[in-house]
Amino acid sequence: QVQLVESGGGSVQAGGSLRLSCAASGYACMGWFRQAPGKEREGVATIARDGSTSYADSVKGRFTISRDNAKTVYLQMNSLKPEDTAMYYCAAVEQLCAAISRFDEKEYSYWGQGTQVTVSS
């Protein structure tokens, strides 16, 4: 059974930083999504096996997604804002990122259990 294991969430003040990690095998396309209370889950960042990345406008310039030997995916989050507060999920799919709507959660086959990020003002 496929397992994606996230870690690195926590509580931080606005302006602070956190790094999330997701342990997984080398899927072609991996992404980070988040869901705030009362809101729909939204895509945050994706990374392809070749290292190409994409970001939601709300996090561009503040978040960086990366992968290590195609087995661990990271989300470095800097300049955090209270509106970044959410449960963050790692997701993976075997199709190429370029072949899917990469910020559509329905495109992803495998999900982690989520890790909470709370940013206080």
Take residue 23 and report the two structure tokens written for it. 């342990």
The C-alpha atoms of residue 107 and residue 99 are separated, in whole angstroms, by 10
Q: What is the pLDDT of residue 46?
A: 97
Please report the pLDDT score of residue 70 as a whole number: 61
Euclidean distance between CA atoms 98 and 47, whole angstroms: 10
Which parts of the chain sit beneath pLDDT 70? 1-2, 70
- Residue 11: strand, helix, or coil: strand
pLDDT at 2: 65
